[in-house]
Structure 1
Amino acid sequence: MAKATKKQALGRGLSALLKDPDNDIKSAEDKNADKVVGNIVELDISDIEMNPFQPRTNFNEETLRELASSIRELGVIQPITVRKMAFNKYQLVSGERRFRASKLIGNKTIPAYIRIANDQESLEMALVENIQRQDLDPIEIALSYQRLIDEIQLTQEQMSERVGKKRSTIANYLRLLKLDPIIQTGMRDGFISMGHGRAMINIENQIDQLEVYEKVISNKLSVRATEALVKQITDGKVSASKPDAPQMPKYVKKGVKEFSEYFGHKIDVKLGRNGTGKIAIPFHSEEDFNRILKLIKSAK
């Protein structure tokens, strides 16, 4: 316990050093930079801005509250990482959950590692460090890999070295981005696993992908059962679409696609006689039902 207290005191001392305008540290070559860069410093939360390069977009509110409770009891165990932007101004590189949870319970300061880097280095650091976290969903990881390719111009081989993952593993994540956006959303929301997604990638037609996705959800198919279904479809033994389905008019096909994209689910349409029909919006949990309800209310 005494050791932890000493570290906290050291952080406060370094924080005071950073607030000296006559000795502002702007680069790694500046006086006292070696005392700050790479060390744990207690920073004011109000001096830290969010990172526009942050790959994470989804934050589970329940787990965020659990982390906030843990921080209230034990403090921030693992410091966040920031880069210095200007005098008393920092930008978050990694640790957004810890940052958000600390703000949630009203903490005024947070322990942080300080780095000095340009935008490209900051982007690479944020992406690589977040990829290595355990709580990113598969699509977030895939998008991070894709950004390393697009914005840092890393090859899959270079990424393999940076993140310590096999090249085949990286390729499997990137292939997930070929799935229909609705299926990607289902994976991000936890309705299906990465294994389900990898199985459905083998179906090239996205309409057929969505048909299989609907069957996986409605029948709660395991990954192995999904793989078997996909194999039957790709071998031509069964059809992905429902048998004897009536021919849908073009306006219905177009509308169903827009409905599906809006609600984040495959919308079921049953056609009747004389152009009549029914629209069914599926939901998979109370949380999902409330999400759909909010979408309907906001459309009024």
Structure 2
Amino acid sequence: MSKKDQPYTSKLRGVAALLGEPEPAAAAVVVPIARIYLPQEQPRRYFDLEKLQQLVISVKELGILEPLLVRPREQGDYELVAGERRYRAAQTAGLTSVPVVVRQLTDAEALQLSLVENLQREDLNPVEETEGILQLMASQLNKSVEEATALLYRMQNEVKGKVTQNVLGSPEGEQVRAMFDSLGLMSWESFVSSRLPLLNLPEEVINALRQGRIEYTKAIALARIKDSSARQALLEEAIQENLSLTQIKQRIIAARPLQEKPQSLKILFKEASSRLQKAKFWSNPKKQRQLEKLLKQMEDLLAEE
């Protein structure tokens, strides 16, 4: 069986675990593309025009190799559930009909399937991935995105012992863990610590990151610039000149006002000591040896007085 003849399954591994249903295995049928409409609520917001054009060329040469997933609507029409890039490429390529798999789905199921398909794309940028995971979680828990975000922060605080545990062992907590396990992208703890902060980036930085114009690590560095005009200027420079992360950091340091004095060594030492007390590497033999070396160096300095 060629890829063109295979049922619509390869992009939706893990969906059964997420929706509690078997994966679709229906045979594909061909329908007029004019009868397929995009849903009002679309998870994917940005498409790389260059990659989309490459897909258009492929579609012109080979056709649609993997069917779109749709659900039936009124008067013989269909609503697209998964495969928007292929749908757009087919339209641009001038195809009049496309292969589809038709499945009866509720609004919630259609949204979740669409989100899962997007999350399994390799070209999804970190912002879209973060927003998609939050949407999926909110849909599964029947909450708003804001409520889902608050729940994750609550779970993080419970793990740290800052608040009494009442979510981690609850059905909601188990459902959150099951969702992240099914996606296989990252743990919920990693998502809270490294991804949720992305949504608080300055608007111009998060837009550049969403559009794939700048990398994640560079966006984080640029976001630390408090002056909005200086941040915007360096953002444009970073994009136009393809600055490395090191170059961006060097320019940030060079642009600091001359009157801005560095913190005293006493303050830095106090802050480092406080962070050491809270660090999680005390059980790590390698890091313990490194810390022992540093303490020995400090003792030697004190002995010289």
| Class of the TM-score when normalised by the shorter of the 2 chains | 0.5 to 0.7
Q: Which amino acid aligns with 1:160?
A: F
1:1-300 to structure 2, matched below 5 A, reads: 7=5, 38-153=26-141, 156-167=176-187, 168-171=189-192, 172-199=194-221, 203=224, 207-208=226-227, 211-212=230-231, 214-215=233-234, 217-218=236-237, 220-224=242-246, 226=248, 242-243=257-258
Structure 2 unaligned blocks of 5 or more: 8-23, 142-147, 149-174, 261-305
Q: Which amino acid aligns with 1:170?
A: F
Structure 1 unaligned blocks of 5 or more: 11-35, 246-300
Is this contact kept in 1: 2:222–2:235, CA < 8 A? no
Is this contact kept in 2: 1:131–1:144, CA < 8 A? yes
Is this contact kept in 1: 2:46–2:211, CA < 8 A? no
Q: Which amino acid aligns with 1:215?
A: L
Give the percent of matched residue pairs that are identical in Structure 1 and Structure 2. 29
Comparing 165-174 and 102-111, the one that deviates more: 165-174
Displacement after TM superposition at 1:74 (Å): 0.8
Q: Distance in 2 between matches of 1:62 and 1:6?
A: 24
Displacement after TM superposition at 1:196 (Å): 1.7
The structure-2 alpha-carbon separation of the partners of 1:214 and 1:146, relative to structure 1 and needing over 3 Å to count, comes to farther
**SS of corresponding position for 1:170:** helix
| RMSD across aligned positions (CA) | 3.5
Deviation readout 1:130-188 (Å, 9 max, x if unpaired)? 01101222222122122223343376524312321122553323321110111011212
With the length of structure 2 as denominator, give the TM-score of the two structures.
0.57
Is this contact kept in 2: 1:37–1:116, CA < 8 A? no
Q: Which amino acid aligns with 2:191?
A: I
Is this contact kept in 2: 1:82–1:93, CA < 8 A? yes
With the length of structure 1 as denominator, give the TM-score of the two structures.
0.58
Q: Which amino acid aligns with 1:190?
A: G
Deviation readout 1:24-56 (Å, 9 max, x if unpaired)? xxxxxxxxxxxx963212122112110223221
Displacement after TM superposition at 1:57 (Å): 1.6
Displacement after TM superposition at 1:239 (Å): 9.0
The structure-2 alpha-carbon separation of the partners of 1:46 and 1:100, relative to structure 1 and needing over 3 Å to count, comes to same
Displacement after TM superposition at 1:127 (Å): 0.8
Q: Distance in 2 between matches of 1:6 and 1:160?
A: 31
Q: Which amino acid aligns with 1:126?
A: S
**SS of corresponding position for 2:98:** strand
Q: Which amino acid aligns with 2:218?
A: H
Moved over 6 A (4+): none
The structure-2 alpha-carbon separation of the partners of 1:142 and 1:81, relative to structure 1 and needing over 3 Å to count, comes to same
Q: Distance in 1 between matches of 2:4 and 2:120?
A: 30
Q: Distance in 1 between matches of 2:200 and 2:178?
A: 22
Comparing both structures, which one devotes a greater share of its residues to strand?
1
Matched residues, number:
207
Deviation readout 1:211-240 (Å, 9 max, x if unpaired)? 4564355365423555x669xx9xxxx697
